[in-house]
Each structure stands twice: as C-alpha cells, then as structure tokens.
C-alpha cells in the first residue's frame, strides 16, 4: 500500500508544471500573480495544478486581504526537493543521458515524436 502511495506521489511530482510550482514555493509563500510570473503558466493552468497540489495535501492556501497566498503545506517537501538536488548532483549527467527518461508527446501520426 505504501509503495503505491510513493509511486503516486512521484508521478504527481513528475509533472513539469506541478514541479515548477513546488520549486517556487520552496522559497516561501507566493500569490497567484507571482506564481504565474515565476512559472510562466497561464492562470487557468496554474489554478488547475494548485488545486491538484492542494487536494493532495502538498500546498495550502491562505487569504491575506484580496490576495490568496500559496505555501508548502509540509516542510518535508523542501527536504524532498533538496534530496533530489543532491541525487542529481551525483548522477544528473547519467539521468540526462538516459534514453528511457526522454520526454515524449503522443501525436496521431507518430506516437514517439519527441517534444520540442
């Protein structure tokens, strides 16, 4: 059971948009407009990812006047991101070169067309 939850957690973190949001939030709370600027996501896309992260208990929202600020709900997420940085410091070149981890986008004509 725990293994399934771990896989689900890492699958959620594997999404580049959600990872980007968490990476920004590891430096402290941010309002939506700051997150849009930092991540380059459209507001609607960002809202969808924030809802996902909130539903999973990774971020929480706090209203301050007319603004809503998002922050990491658990500081252990920072430790997880730092651990990833440490692993990549050691093996990042191998991960980068690994053909099994290529980002791929499925298209109608060619299911193996690489993302550009």
Name all domains of the chain by residue range, CATH numbers in brackets.
Answer: 2-74 (1.10.10.10)
Q: Which residue, chain included where needed, has tokens 């658990």?
A: 74
- At 12-39, the pLDDT tens digits run 888 999 999 999 999 999 999 999 999 9
Q: What is the pTM of this model?
A: 0.79
Whole-angstrom distance, CA of residue 57 vs CA of residue 34: 21
Q: Which two tokens stand for residue 8?
A: 């689900």
Rounded (10°) angle between helices 16-25 and 2-13: 90
Whole-angstrom distance, CA of residue 113 vs CA of residue 111: 6
pLDDT band at 103 (very low <50, low <70, confident <90, very high): low
- At 43-87, the pLDDT tens digits run 999 999 999 999 999 999 999 999 999 999 999 999 999 999 999
Percent of the chain with pLDDT over 70: 87
Scored b (16 or more CB within 10 A) or e, 56-76 reads: eebbeeeeeeeeebbebbeee
pLDDT band at 1 (very low <50, low <70, confident <90, very high): confident
């Amino acid at each position: 059971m725990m293994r399934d939850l771990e896989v689900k957690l890492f699958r959620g973190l594997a999404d580049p948009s959600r990872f980007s949001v968490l990476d920004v939030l590891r430096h402290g709370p941010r309002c939506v407009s700051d997150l849009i600027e930092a991540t380059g996501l459209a507001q609607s896309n960002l809202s969808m990812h924030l809802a996902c992260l909130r539903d999973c208990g990774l971020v929480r929202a706090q209203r301050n006047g007319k603004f809503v600020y998002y922050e990491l709900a658990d500081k252990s997420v920072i430790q997880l991101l730092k651990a990833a940085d440490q692993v990549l410091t050691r093996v990042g070149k191998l991960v980068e070169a690994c053909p099994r981890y290529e980002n791929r986008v499925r298209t109608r004509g060619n299911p193996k067309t690489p993302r550009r």
